[in-house]
Structure 1
Amino acid sequence: MALTQTPAGEMGWPAAEFGLPGVDGRDWSVGDLRGVRGLVLFFICNHCPYVKAVADRLALTGAELQRRGYGVAAICSNDPVAYPEDDFEHMAAFARQHEFPFPYLHDESQAVARTYGAVCTPDIFAFDAMLTLRYRGRLDSAGKAAAGAETVPELLDALTLIERTGHGPEVQHASIGCSIKWKAA
């Protein structure tokens, strides 16, 4: 397992359009997913221990974000040939197991991950109502550990700040996880 950290990135770029199939049998675009307050994308996979550790928290956070008016989706961009546990069938089972209230999309070509610059699982991108990137970081301060009373909900806090000020937090902690499993060239 290669451990990867999201790079400190430039904020303010627009969400790139895409069309991806979901495990719900529907094709999804950014326009379909967009909520009145914005869009949050979780780049994840099924086999990564970092994702497994936060999957239930992703589901809960995603539901809260949807209640607040955000569109939410998870995207798996891993090579399912090299990592069969990340294939479409396993994605559907993973979404059911963790009761994802949002679409789980398959980026088979890996073009969406490359366009967004996703590097690890989980890698979280949060866009405001104008679909401008305002947050790229981790879900919360617990990381791979179990969340407790002292856990800071960094993604939710960032979106609250964005709603109030139009800007993301100055300090954004990188997400840490397994590298995206790229197809051989």
Structure 2
Amino acid sequence: MKAIKFLALTLVVGAISAFTMIKPAAGYKVGDVATDFSLKNVDNKKVSLADFKAAKGFIVVFTCNHCPYAQAYEDRIIALDKKYKKLGYPVIAINPNNPAKQKDDSFELMQVRAKEKNFTFPYLLDEGQKVYPQYGATKTPHVYILQKTKVGNVVKYIGAIDDNYSDAAAVKEKYAENALDALLKNKEVAVKETKAIGCSIKT
């Protein structure tokens, strides 16, 4: 009888623990220092954040070829690079998808897409899918704005580029631009995190 009561109590405690256990979320949080990486660009050369000696920070965008959300944002990503690269914050685009699961995101088709759209920034393949989990990216596109400091590249903003993926003309809140403008003025970023809207990363 005692054994039965003990077993029942153990099951109850175990069930409670299962529901109350808090698992740490994967990926970077605002304020974390992002580690560098070395990934192959569409020009077949390896690219690292350390290569950009004069940069004040980076606009790291996880994006891809096939996703309609990513495609809808391509021109805006190009515009971000054009505006902010000369101010010290270049775009670094990374394709996190597994080409074996999504053939449209193969390295060869990345090269085609970059040429078609005349990308002005590196478009890197996360070969082996090792970088995007470090960041905690879940969507394409998913943006991480980093600021270069004495301790490393500190994450200052995570989330969406703006508040309207379907119509650039209807955007009311330019989250990424607002964050970058604040950093360039040495001010605190007002909105540090938003929900990234896009396609799930293919693993």
- Do both proteins adopt the same fold according to a TM-score greater than 0.5, normalized to the shorter chain? yes
The structural deviation recorded for 1:105 is: 0.3
Tell me the distance in 1 between the aligned counterparts of 2:55 and 2:127. Answer: 28
Tell me the distance in 2 between the aligned counterparts of 1:140 and 1:20. Answer: 27
Letter of the aligned partner of 2:75 in structure 1?
A: D
Tell me the distance in 2 between the aligned counterparts of 1:117 and 1:76. Answer: 14
- Residues 148 and 167 of structure 1, relative CA distance in 2, 3 Å threshold: same
Letter of the aligned partner of 2:131 in structure 1?
A: V
- The correspondence of residues 62-73 of structure 1 with structure 2, limited to 5 A, is 62-73=81-92
Partner of residue 156, structure 2: 134
The structural deviation recorded for 1:151 is: 3.6
- Residues 76 and 150 of structure 1, relative CA distance in 2, 3 Å threshold: closer
The structural deviation recorded for 1:129 is: 2.4
Partner of residue 200, structure 2: 179
The structural deviation recorded for 1:29 is: 0.9
The structural deviation recorded for 1:117 is: 1.1
Q: How many residues align?
A: 175
* Deviates most, 158-167 or 119-128: 158-167
Q: Secondary structure at the match of 1:47?
A: coil
Q: Secondary structure at the match of 2:85?
A: helix
Unmatched 5+ residue regions in structure 1?
1-6
Q: Is the 8 A contact 2:145 2:158 kept in 1?
A: yes
Partner of residue 3, structure 1: none
Partner of residue 179, structure 2: 158
Partner of residue 11, structure 1: 30
Letter of the aligned partner of 2:127 in structure 1?
A: E
Equivalent of 1:23 in 26, 38, 42: 42
1:84 and 2:103 are equivalent in the alignment? yes
The structural deviation recorded for 1:10 is: 2.5
The structural deviation recorded for 1:34 is: 5.9
- Residues 8 and 25 of structure 1, relative CA distance in 2, 3 Å threshold: closer
Q: CA RMSD in A?
A: 2.0
1:107-165 CA-partner distances (Å, limit 9, x unpaired):
1110001111111100100011221000012111222x121165432211111112223
1:94 and 2:113 are equivalent in the alignment? yes
* Deviates most, 104-113 or 63-72: 63-72
- Residues 67 and 27 of structure 1, relative CA distance in 2, 3 Å threshold: same
Q: Which has the higher contact order (CA 8 A, sep 6+)?
A: 1
Tell me the distance in 1 between the aligned counterparts of 2:77 and 2:113. Answer: 12
- Residues 11 and 27 of structure 1, relative CA distance in 2, 3 Å threshold: same
Q: Secondary structure at the match of 1:67?
A: coil
Unmatched 5+ residue regions in structure 2?
1-25
* Structure number with bigger Rg: 2
TM-score (norm 2): 0.79
Partner of residue 135, structure 2: 116
Q: Secondary structure at the match of 1:111?
A: coil
Partner of residue 74, structure 1: 93
Q: Percent identity?
A: 33
Q: Is the 8 A contact 1:34 1:71 kept in 2?
A: no
Letter of the aligned partner of 1:141 in structure 2?
A: D
